[in-house]
Structure 1
């Protein structure tokens, strides 16, 4: 193993020497204004969650009919400046996030599309503005302010109309070719339905429990591409008074022929409680391994995911997207205490058959061996089960005035033991239209 370690170091040094001999991103800067981009991203989302067991604990008293149904429009204005020229480049980013309620109601509210008014209805409109200042030296960027993140241990969620936004500092370095290093500290998180700092605080609509919110989160990470087909990553986070996490990833792609390949993707988290343990006494290990075989327009995937410890995998205060696991799907994450789950998935790209932009996906996931507990922590079931079927179709217009306009249908059928969760049908229609102004 010592030979392997020295080989990796030698590769990194060689890659770094090559990178330093080449022009850096900062040396190629055209200027603050010249490299500026301005994009407008529009998303319409219709979402219906039908709780098949009626108005049970999953639907809460705000949904006496046992379902939630809402439609909204999200408009994002995203401005990213270039960097000033010189050794140290300076720039800024700014955004405006707005939501417009198209349809909702007091009896149908609760899908996470809008904020809530005093009488239990969805807000008609919401707007959040923010920005960040950034500095660049060579191929290293330091950004402070409001931003969206995509770290495996701190990822803002973008599964509704608008994304979560966090506030803090993020340092990203790509000085060595193939190696990316990152470090950050974040002190606030706004939710997808809140337009103010720390709006992730508040009462959870499903559980009714108070969420104290984010105080601070420190993250560190490294990813390295050993070859064009093999990469690895390790990340760490420390979320004050909640938990600490370690994440690892290995990804290997094996080309077989020009139109055939195998891909293997391993993801894993280890979570332990920290400080006041506001998320509970968390001691969890969870990992997933996915193998995908692609041939022409077809991709066949199988995945296994396994959770162990005295709790399930916990996330949310560190970003609703902080779950880089194979069996985290449309409705369920299959991350229960001691849960084992399997997935079979099929994708097809219709471009091969003369319809570019059209694609379909279906998958089936089943999980068992789930441990459930009552409010006092006593085990109530040691073998609860859940399963989910997903059906998706997407079409992206390829050219013309409406180029890149996309239509996507997502349908989930979720079933579980009553001791674990209620049955749900989740249907979403998503229309997205990105516009590049600059």
Structure 2
């Protein structure tokens, strides 16, 4: 009942301030079909992790290669004071390689049974109903969410999804408010809506996650965000962000991005995920500050990140199935790559470089290289309380075809070379991901063929 009251109060508040906006999204609605979107997407993903240390549960290499097919239909809203709509989607995964011996559920690519065999194919359907009044939308059902305290991961073969209610309000100019009540999460390799894809009782699962927050755009160059979430029997979490860009001239700019999370873990979650008996909640605060200098096609980034508090090797805990069940990408911090550098009391420093191909006459090309070094991590869970160190060299290059019959076909290669001391985390690892993505606008295709 409390979550329902929070949602109702938010809607009333948003409508009260609707006069601050000059136009209403609902008043400009063209109809259920006229404003609809229908997209299809095909992805081929090769994903491998080659472990260089022997203590990783006896599995020296994990590998998966699959084909992911998805289609998403998003209707417009019916005309009138209150508009109604419907979203629906379907996912199909096909394993091309990566059977028993190389398969592992922790890679989040294919479903893996107790026998160690990966599924040959799997599928899932989902949908949501929605309503809009003025500039406020309410959606209920199976959906994809992209917020700092609940973000469904789309970096694997198929995306995660969550089930519940999401309110998005833009009644006040330059302010977006989000509120949600969710009761289930479906992992990237799951076939149902009430689990994260992990069968073991060790994993906690989502019981109920409520949140509220928003982003205010002060100017074109300055924005702030603030969110708070209640994750039943797991954690209470707050998030803040300040992002500012200073334009030096037409070719140069400096960007500063500050992110911070504070988490108060529930003692039930701590006990369940610890080897020892913990009789109280353990808090964690983690923050990152990144400075980015851009000149034409080139960008240079320096970032510092610090995690304070946690338990038994845990610092900032997030994720799906094996974490706090708030989505596999709910970590909006600077030093998050293959490793997140988020252990208890860990500090880390990043140096990175980015290249935009458009600036050198190759539109569609992008490149990034980053080196992150972490130290002072409390590795009690791995090595008897020694201070752990880790480092990662991350490289990614991508290219999207800009025109012709294969327009929008995208290629991306991502690699990480990870090393750790004191048997920290899962040990040394070389990771490789190769993506081939082809999105297709089915509505545009139908119109062009008429």
1:97-176 to 2 correspondences below 5 Å: 97-110=91-104, 111-176=107-172
| Number of the residue aligned with 1:274 | 266
Q: In the comparison of the two structures, how many residue pairs are matched? A: 409
After TM superposition, the score normalised by the length of structure 2 is: 0.88
Q: Is the 8 A contact 1:72 1:161 kept in 2?
A: yes
In the TM superposition, residue 203 of structure 1 has moved relative to its aligned partner by 4.6
Q: 2:437 and 2:253 mapped to 1: Cα distance?
A: 31
Instruction: Tell me: CA distance 1:140–1:327, structure 2 relative to 1, closer, same or farther (3 Å).
Output: same
Instruction: Tell me: CA distance 1:170–1:122, structure 2 relative to 1, closer, same or farther (3 Å).
Output: same
| Number of the residue aligned with 1:406 | 410
Q: 1:113 and 1:419 mapped to 2: Cα distance?
A: 26
- 3-state DSSP of counterpart to 1:351: helix
Q: Deviations over 1:42-84 (max 9, x none)?
A: 1110011000114x22xx24x3xx1012110111100000000
| Number of the residue aligned with 1:73 | 67
| Number of the residue aligned with 2:420 | 416
1:421-436 to 2 correspondences below 5 Å: 421=425, 422-436=427-441
Worse overlay, 114-123 or 129-138: 114-123
Q: Is the 8 A contact 1:78 1:96 kept in 2?
A: yes
| Number of the residue aligned with 1:219 | 211
* Pair 1:321 & 2:339 matched: no
Instruction: Tell me: CA distance 1:164–1:282, structure 2 relative to 1, closer, same or farther (3 Å).
Output: farther
Instruction: Tell me: CA distance 1:355–1:201, structure 2 relative to 1, closer, same or farther (3 Å).
Output: closer
5+ unaligned residues in a row in structure 2: which ranges? 1-13, 275-280, 320-324, 444-450
In the TM superposition, residue 126 of structure 1 has moved relative to its aligned partner by 0.7
1:16-415 to 2 correspondences below 5 Å: 19-20=20-21, 22-54=22-54, 56-57=55-56, 60-61=57-58, 63=59, 66-110=60-104, 111-200=107-196, 202-203=198-199, 210-274=202-266, 276-277=268-269, 278-279=272-273, 281-311=281-311, 312-316=315-319, 317-329=325-337, 331-374=338-381, 380-415=384-419
Q: 1:403 and 1:425 mapped to 2: Cα distance?
A: 32
In the TM superposition, residue 279 of structure 1 has moved relative to its aligned partner by 4.9
In the TM superposition, residue 350 of structure 1 has moved relative to its aligned partner by 2.3
Instruction: Tell me: CA distance 1:385–1:399, structure 2 relative to 1, closer, same or farther (3 Å).
Output: same
Instruction: Kindly indicate which of the two structures has a greater share of residues assigned to helix.
Output: 2
| Structure 1 vs Structure 2 CA RMSD | 1.7
Q: Deviations over 1:104-135 (max 9, x none)?
A: 11011023210014532111111100100000
- 3-state DSSP of counterpart to 1:352: helix
Q: 2:357 and 2:23 mapped to 1: Cα distance?
A: 40
Q: Is the 8 A contact 1:220 1:235 kept in 2?
A: yes
Q: Deviations over 1:359-387 (max 9, x none)?
A: 21100000000111148xxx823421000
After TM superposition, the score normalised by the length of structure 1 is: 0.90
In the TM superposition, residue 417 of structure 1 has moved relative to its aligned partner by 1.0
1:4-23 to 2 correspondences below 5 Å: 19-20=20-21, 22-23=22-23
Instruction: Tell me: CA distance 1:419–1:292, structure 2 relative to 1, closer, same or farther (3 Å).
Output: same
Q: Is the 8 A contact 2:190 2:197 kept in 1?
A: no
Worse overlay, 350-359 or 70-79: 350-359
Worse overlay, 412-421 or 94-103: 412-421
In the TM superposition, residue 151 of structure 1 has moved relative to its aligned partner by 1.3
In the TM superposition, residue 353 of structure 1 has moved relative to its aligned partner by 2.2
Q: 1:17 and 1:313 mapped to 2: Cα distance?
A: 38
Q: 1:19 and 1:163 mapped to 2: Cα distance?
A: 36
Instruction: Kindly indicate which of the two structures has a greater share of residues assigned to strand.
Output: 1
